[in-house]
Amino acid sequence: VSRILEEGSVSGVGVDQELISAVPSWNPTFLERNFTEAEIAYCQAQPSPPSSFAARWVGKEATFKALGVSSKGAAAPMKDIEILPDESGVPTVNLHGDAKSAAEAKGVSKILVSLSHSETIAIAFAQAVSS
């Protein structure tokens, strides 16, 4: 009898970019709406908080795309996609609420994400992996 494993198969990808200056990280309402307390604490402790917030913001958008659900724009609960570094510093995605439900409905077990920012632009790539 054989048992088939398909761990790590890819079901969706997402890329997103934004001018760092276009992400209103100086606005407490924007931050509280879209970032968890742990994300806010992490970004504010970085050398350039605006860059860290912008990188996470595009990471959340890229995750939405990788899940294959359209971002709801201003109405989307971006807080449901939480991106925090693991013990090696690798950004790691935790899904909550609607984002978690959407992932489960699609058989997505994990989101891999990578973030990058230059002085002006933040870019992120996300990948949905099924098991």
Residues within the interface to its own copies (CB under 8 A) = 1-19, 62, 65-66, 68-70, 88-90, 112-116, 118-119, 121, 123-127, 129-130
* Residue number, 8 or 28, with CB nearest to its own copies: 8
Smallest separation (angstroms) from its own copies to the CB of 61? 8
Smallest separation (angstroms) from its own copies to the CB of 55? 10
Q: How far is CA 73 from CA 11, 77, 78, 120, in A?
A: 23, 9, 9, 22
For residues 58 and 16, the answer to whether their CB atoms sit within 8 Å is yes
Smallest separation (angstroms) from its own copies to the CB of 96? 21
For residues 83 and 111, the answer to whether their CB atoms sit within 8 Å is no
* Residue number, 14 or 31, with CB nearest to its own copies: 14
Q: In this structure, what DSSP letter does residue 21 have?
A: G
Smallest separation (angstroms) from its own copies to the CB of 124? 7
* Residue number, 100 or 130, with CB nearest to its own copies: 130
| Token pair of 62 as six digits | 């890229």
* Residue number, 21 or 27, with CB nearest to its own copies: 21
Ramachandran region, residue 73 (left: φ > 0; alpha: ψ -120 to 50; beta: rest): left
